[in-house]
């Protein structure tokens, strides 16, 4: 690992100021489960690492039906997976957080880090896409919010401007049924070959898939096909056929393109069948 200077701001304002000053020479660090691996492999060689962990008040998880869920940027996967409100009102997010790595990884890894890292297979992304989550951002020019679907732009590319950091994720509340699915080569401690979430809000459907394109995706055509209709076997067949036409996976070490296309179809068919 290349030497770097370790910075430990005590306030958000200080963190923003440091990032604005050092810009691309600096990276933020939360749980460090992504950046340390990348730094060890020389894929990331920052001159400065800005550790956010000593800034107070960033690890909270709060919920009300009016305000929805708020996940602070230092809330870990284990805290999210074990939170009673998340389990009750956002069970697919709890399941996704619980599926990440090992218990040790989940004790450090944050959901915000999972999203900012912008891997196509980030497990918490697809439930957050389905729930229309919003990223809360603080930067030199103050606060702003951005929907998650506009935040992740490409593999490891997000819509953060110079000096900006993510303070938390806001997830609106709507009553929903559905499931998160992770297809991986092993049950534990494996990255998703394909992951996906299918949610039903009344007669509206939200479907998101991961590891099937450079970013996680909402399957808008399949959602439109299903909207307002009763889930019959014919309709589910049609949706399972349409869904893979909306993604563009690659062959890689984990699976072939065709396998991923088949898994997208399978997840859509299986969850819709359970919802019917």
Ligand X SMILES: Cc1cc2nc3c(=O)[nH]c(=O)nc-3n(C[C@H](O)[C@H](O)[C@H](O)COP(=O)(O)OP(=O)(O)OC[C@H]3O[C@@H](n4cnc5c(N)ncnc54)[C@H](O)[C@@H]3O)c2cc1C
Site residues (CB under 6 A) for ligand X, limited to 210-269: none
Residue 165 binds to ligand X (criterion: CB under 6 A): yes
For ligand X, the closer of residues 34 and 179 by Cβ is 34
Structural contact between residues 268 and 240, judged by C-beta atoms closer than 8 angstroms: yes
Q: Please tell me whether residue 105 binds ligand X under the rule CB under 6 A.
A: yes
∠ at Cα 209 (101, 215), nearest 5°? 85
Nearer to ligand X, 240 or 255 (CB): 255
- Binders in 116-145 for ligand X, by CB under 6 A: 116-117, 122-123
**Contact status: 27 vs ligand X (CB under 6 A):** yes
Closer residue to ligand X, CB minimum distance, 55 or 207: 55
Q: What DSSP string runs through 60-84?
A: -EEEETTTEEEEETT-BHHHHHH-H
Which positions from 42 through 101 interact with ligand X, judged by CB under 6 A?
A: 52, 73, 100-101
The strand pair at 157-158 and 152-154 is best described as antiparallel
Which range touches ligand X (CB under 6 A), out of 31-39, 80-88, 143-151, 170-178? Answer: 31-39
> Residue 89 forms beta bridges with which residues?
none
- The alpha carbon of 70 is separated from its chain's Cα centroid by a whole number of angstroms, namely 14
Task: Choose, by CB under 6 A, the member of 9, 31, 120, 196 that binds ligand X.
Answer: 31
Among 32-40, 128-136, 172-180, 264-272, the segment contacting ligand X (CB under 6 A): 32-40
Size of the site for ligand X (CB under 6 A): 29
Residue closer to ligand X by CB (options 41, 234) is: 41
Q: Of the two residues 27 and 263, which places its CB atom closer to ligand X in the complex?
A: 27
Question: Position of tokens 């009673």?
Answer: 84
Q: Which neighbouring-strand residues pair with 145?
A: 136
Phi, psi of 96 (to 5 degrees): -65, -45
Closer residue to ligand X, CB minimum distance, 102 or 248: 102
Q: Is residue 35 involved in binding ligand X (CB under 6 A)?
A: yes
CA–CA separation, 170 and 32 (whole Å): 22
Write the DSSP symbol of residue 187. S
Interface residue with ligand X, options 78, 83, 92, 114 (CB under 6 A)? 114
Question: By the 8 A CB rule, do 108 and 76 touch?
Answer: yes
């Amino acid at each position: 690992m290349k030497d770097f200077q370790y910075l430990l701001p005590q306030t958000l304002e200080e963190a923003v100021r440091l990032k604005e000053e050092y810009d691309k020479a600096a990276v933020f660090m939360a749980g460090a489960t992504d950046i340390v691996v990348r730094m060890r492999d020389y894929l990331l060689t920052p001159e400065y690492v800005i550790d956010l962990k000593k800034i107070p008040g960033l690890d909270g998880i709060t919920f009300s039906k009016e305000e929805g869920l708020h996940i602070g940027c230092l809330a870990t996967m284990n805290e999210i997976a074990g939170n009673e409100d998340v389990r009750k009102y956002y069970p697919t997010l709890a399941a996704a957080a619980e599926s990440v790595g090992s218990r040790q990884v989940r004790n450090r890894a944050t959901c915000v880090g999972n999203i900012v890292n912008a891997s196509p297979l980030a497990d918490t992304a697809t439930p957050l896409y389905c729930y229309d989550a919003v990223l809360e951002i603080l930067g030199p020019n103050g606060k702003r919010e951005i929907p998650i679907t506009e935040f992740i732009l490409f593999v490891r590319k997000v819509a953060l401007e110079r000096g900006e950091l993510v303070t938390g994720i806001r997830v609106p509340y709507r009553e929903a049924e559905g499931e998160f699915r992770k297809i991986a080569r092993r049950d534990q401690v494996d990255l998703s070959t394909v992951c996906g979430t299918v949610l039903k809000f009344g007669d509206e459907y939200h479907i998101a898939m991961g590891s099937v394109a450079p970013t996680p995706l909402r399957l808008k055509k399949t959602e439109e096909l299903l909207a307002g209709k009763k889930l019959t076997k014919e309709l589910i067949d049609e949706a399972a056929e349409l869904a893979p036409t909306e993604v563009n996976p690659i062959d890689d070490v984990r699976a072939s393109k065709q396998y991923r296309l088949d898994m997208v179809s399978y997840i859509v068919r299986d969850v819709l069948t359970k919802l019917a």
